[in-house]
Amino acid sequence: MHNKKILNIGIDLGTSRSVIVCDNGIRQAIPSFIGYPKDAVSQKLIGGDVVYGEDAIKNRLSVHLYRPFDKGVLLQDKSDKNGEEHIKASEIARSLLRKLIAYAFEEEEDKNLLIRGVIGAPALASLNNKKDFLEIADGVLDDVMIASEPFCVAYGMNILTNALIIDIGAGTTDLCRMHGTIPGADDQITTFKAGDYVDKNFLELIEKKYKEANFTVNMIKRFKEENASISEQGEKLFIELPINGKPTSCDVTSELREACRAIVPDIVEGIRKLVATFDPEFQNDLKQNVILAGGGSRIIGLHKEIENYMKKTLGYGKVTRVEDSLYAGANGALMLCKDMPDEYWDELKTRK
C-alpha cells in the first residue's frame, strides 16, 4: 500500500491526436507528431533536440518527423519485434507520453504524487499489443491500465449496456459492442478505413481531376476537416491549389463526398456482424443505440447515411454522435481510472 496522494489521468493515444485529461482539471490535446532536428541549423531553429505536436508539423522541413502509431498499432517493422525499429518506435511513443504527462503539472512534476493513468488505445492494439503499451508507460506512469478507445468513450458517457460505439479515428475505425461487462475480442471489430484512408482517397481523386496541381496530403486534410460532408445538398466546394506555381480554384465537391463515403460500407458491414451475433432478444436495443465518436464522426451527414443503410440491411437503426469528439475517449479513460479501486491497481502490480 502507498500513502501518496494520487493524480488520476485519462489518456487517449491516437494515430493523429493525443489527448490528456486529469482530475486536477487540466486537459490538453496535441497532434501525435514528434520531430528531431536534421542538423545543427535545424537544432538552432527549433531551439532544442525535439519538438512535439503543432511545432513538429510547422518545422517539418527541418526535422525528421515521426508519428508513433499507424493503423492502430505501434509503428514498427513487424518482422523485427525486438529489433531497432521496435525500440525506436517505443521510444518515440514514450517521449510523446512524457510530453503529455508534463502538461498535468503547471510547474515541475510533483514527485510526491502517485501518477495513475488509463490509456485508451486503438481496439486492436489494446487486444494484441497491450505489452507494447505497458512498456511505453513503464517509468512514466506509476500505475497504468490499457483499455480500448471505444470502450473508454462508452464508459465516459455512462453507457455500459446495449450500445454500439463506433470510433472513427485517423488510422482505424473501431466498433465496440457494450453489454454490461468489459468488452472482449468478439465484441470488437476494427477496420482500417478511417480518416487517413479518406485523405488518401481524396488526394488520388484530386490528382486524377487536376493532373497539374501540386499539393500535399496536409493541405487537403485541413480542407477536409473544414468541409467534410457526404450530403448531396450543399454548396459547391472549391480548394485553392497551386498549378504551375499559380493558386487556382479547383472544384472538389464530388471528390470530397466520394472520399468520405468510402468508409461507409465497412462500417455498415461491421454493424451488421455485431448485431447479427448478439443475443436476439437484445438486438433491437443495440440497433437503437449506435453512437459515432472520433474525429471522423464529424463528417456531416455520416450518421444519417449509416442509419439509411441500417434501415435497408437490418430493418431499423438509430445513430447519434458524441458531443465532444476530441475529449470523449480521454474523459472516459479518466472516469475509469478514478472508478477502479486501489485493490485493483495493487493486483495489477503483483501480476507484473
Ligand X SMILES: Nc1ncnc2c1ncn2[C@@H]1O[C@H](COP(=O)(O)OP(=O)(O)OP(=O)(O)O)[C@@H](O)[C@H]1O
Task: Give the binding site for Mg ion (CB under 5 A).
Answer: 14, 149, 169
DSSP, collapsed to helix, strand or coil, labels residue 181 as coil
Angle (deg, nearest 10), helices 130-137 and 84-103: 60
Q: Is 16 in the site for ligand X (CB under 6 A)?
A: yes
- Of 59-118, binders to ligand X (CB under 6 A) are 69
Nearer to Mg ion, 62 or 297 (CB): 297
Beta bridge partners of 253: none
Residue 224, CA atoms < 13 Å, CB-side half-sphere = 31
In angstroms, the CA 304 to CA 230 distance is 10
CA 150 from chain center: how many Å?
10
Q: Is 15 in the site for ligand X (CB under 6 A)?
A: yes
Give, for 331, the enclosing helix (H) or strand (E).
helix 328-339
- Residue nearest to Mg ion according to CB distances in the complex: 169
Q: Considering only residues 37, 183, 195, 270, which one is a binding residue for ligand X as defined by CB under 6 A?
A: 195
Smallest distance from Mg ion to CB 188, Å: 14
Phi, psi of 26 (to 5 degrees): -80, 135
Angle (deg, nearest 10), helices 217-227 and 253-261: 90
Nearer to ligand X, 34 or 170 (CB): 170
Q: Considering only residues 73, 93, 97, 170, which one is a binding residue for ligand X as defined by CB under 6 A?
A: 170
By a kind-dependent CB cut-off of 5 to 8 A, residue 298 interacts, out of ligand X, Mg ion, none, with ligand X
Listed ranges 131-139, 263-271, 276-284, 292-300: which one lies at the site for ligand X (CB under 6 A): 292-300
**Residues touching ligand X, count (CB under 6 A):** 24
Q: Is 299 in the site for ligand X (CB under 6 A)?
A: yes
By a kind-dependent CB cut-off of 5 to 8 A, residue 170 interacts, out of Mg ion, ligand X, none, with ligand X
DSSP, collapsed to helix, strand or coil, labels residue 111 as coil
Nearer to ligand X, 298 or 338 (CB): 298
- Residue nearest to ligand X according to CB distances in the complex: 195
Smallest distance from Mg ion to CB 20, Å: 13
Exposure b/e, 91-122, CB count within 10 A at least 16 = b = ebbbbbbebbbeebeeeeeeeeeebbbbbbbb
Beta bridge partners of 6: 114
Secondary structure percentages of the chain, helix, strand, coil, to 5: 45, 25, 30
Q: Considering only residues 100, 115, 194, 337, which one is a binding residue for ligand X as defined by CB under 6 A?
A: 194
Smallest distance from ligand X to CB 302, Å: 9
Q: Is 221 in the site for ligand X (CB under 6 A)?
A: yes
Smallest distance from ligand X to CB 1, Å: 35
Q: Is 71 left (phi over 0), alpha (psi -120 to 50) or beta?
A: left
Q: Is 270 in the site for ligand X (CB under 6 A)?
A: no
Smallest distance from ligand X to CB 138, Å: 21
Task: Enumerate binding residues for ligand X (CB under 6 A).
Answer: 14-17, 69, 122, 149, 167, 169-172, 194-196, 221, 224-225, 228, 294-296, 298-299
